[in-house]
Amino acid sequence: MAQTTPLVLRLAALSVNAANRAGKIIRDVWSQGDLGIVDKGQNDPQTEADRSSQRCIIASLLNQFPNVKIIGEEGSCNVEVPSDWLVTEGDQSILQLNCPKEYQSATDNDVVVWVDPLDGTSEYTQGLLEHVTVLVGIAVRGTAVGGIIHQPYYGHASGAETLGRTLWGIKGIGVGGFTPALPPANQRIIATTRSHSNPLAEQAIAALKADKVLAVGGAGHKVILLMEGKAHAYVFARGGTKRWDTCAPEVVLEAMGGRLTDMRGVQYLYDHDTNHNNTGGVLATAKGEDHEWYIKNIPENVREALKQ
């Protein structure tokens, strides 16, 4: 592919294949049995799969884009990786897309890549493998424009022979890798955390009077539920997620017509020097949902407590 392909598309194309490769590493660590768990904080585990997945993705990206700023959840890492972890080819179908002109000429200095090498680590350590995703988000001048969500265990529950799939979204282009669907009308199904709740988060869920609450792991996984019509909203009324949790999910969801903001309706920014913490919480709604309705019905004290 000629070097004239815009940087954002080349980054997204390589990220798709790198996330796939990282997904295989995550499955290999699991089946080999020793997860090498390290506690980074309260209910904040890191495993060998998080570390190795991040090394694979960052080594592959830096190899081709040495001057692009990349921020990974697991911090600085050794990018001397086994040769079969180094992904050098980008996904051809992404390389052939037409880049929207707003970021057609974006250069290394305009771009930040946010990497969550394994989202849903608590659930991974507990064997809830379908909650796990690999997230790569691409921001241009602070706005999230490209998102890759790889699900390494997609098909696991149904006993599929080949595991894994990759969902992507690019603002101004659309989405791929899955079939978008709307959640059922006349119902309110809310997805929320199963491992990081607190009284504020519970108060918000109670106020929204859901017909059903799905307490499941992972930011990537919950956004997939919205995009496939299994839930109407993802509500997490507390800090705890970070920019690498929301960058890719925000793009894929919004590229199909949904929204992801903090609890007050303010969009997150993804510049390299931004605060990493999503202190305003996460409110995401499926395509067709009234995002403002959720904001209005979140209790005032919750919204007041969750300012960015």
Query: Which are the catalytic amino acids?
Result: 50, 121
The residues pairing with 213 across neighbouring beta strands, listed in sequence order, are: 190
Q: Which does 236 bind (CB under 5 to 8 A by kind): ligand A2P, Mg ion, none?
A: ligand A2P
Q: How far is the CB of 33 from Mg ion (least distance, A)?
A: 21
Q: Which does 47 bind (CB under 5 to 8 A by kind): ligand A2P, Mg ion, none?
A: none
Site for ligand A2P in 123-182 (CB under 6 A): none
Amino acid at 71: I
Whether residue 118 is annotated as binding a ligand: the answer is yes
217 makes contact with ligand A2P (CB under 6 A) = yes
281 makes contact with ligand A2P (CB under 6 A) = no
Interface with ligand A2P (CB under 6 A), residue from 74, 91, 119, 262: 119
- CA-nearest of 156, 170, 291, 144 to 226 is 291
Q: How far is the CB of 107 from ligand A2P (least distance, A)?
A: 29
- CA-nearest of 223, 151, 225 to 184 is 225
Instruction: With beta carbons less than 8 A apart as the criterion, state whether 231 and 214 touch.
Output: yes
Instruction: With beta carbons less than 8 A apart as the criterion, state whether 120 and 217 touch.
Output: yes
Q: Is the CB of 166 or the CB of 195 nearer to ligand A2P?
A: 195
Interface with ligand A2P (CB under 6 A), residue from 15, 166, 195, 261: 195
Query: Alpha-carbon distance 54 to 75, whole Å?
Result: 9
Instruction: With beta carbons less than 8 A apart as the criterion, state whether 236 and 197 touch.
Output: no
Instruction: With beta carbons less than 8 A apart as the criterion, state whether 57 and 17 touch.
Output: no
The residues pairing with 282 across neighbouring beta strands, listed in sequence order, are: 236
Q: Where does this chain bind ligand A2P (CB under 6 A)?
A: 44, 73, 116, 119-121, 193, 195-196, 217-219, 236, 240-241, 245
Instruction: Please state the residue numbers annotated as binding site for Mg(2+).
Output: 73, 116, 118-119, 245
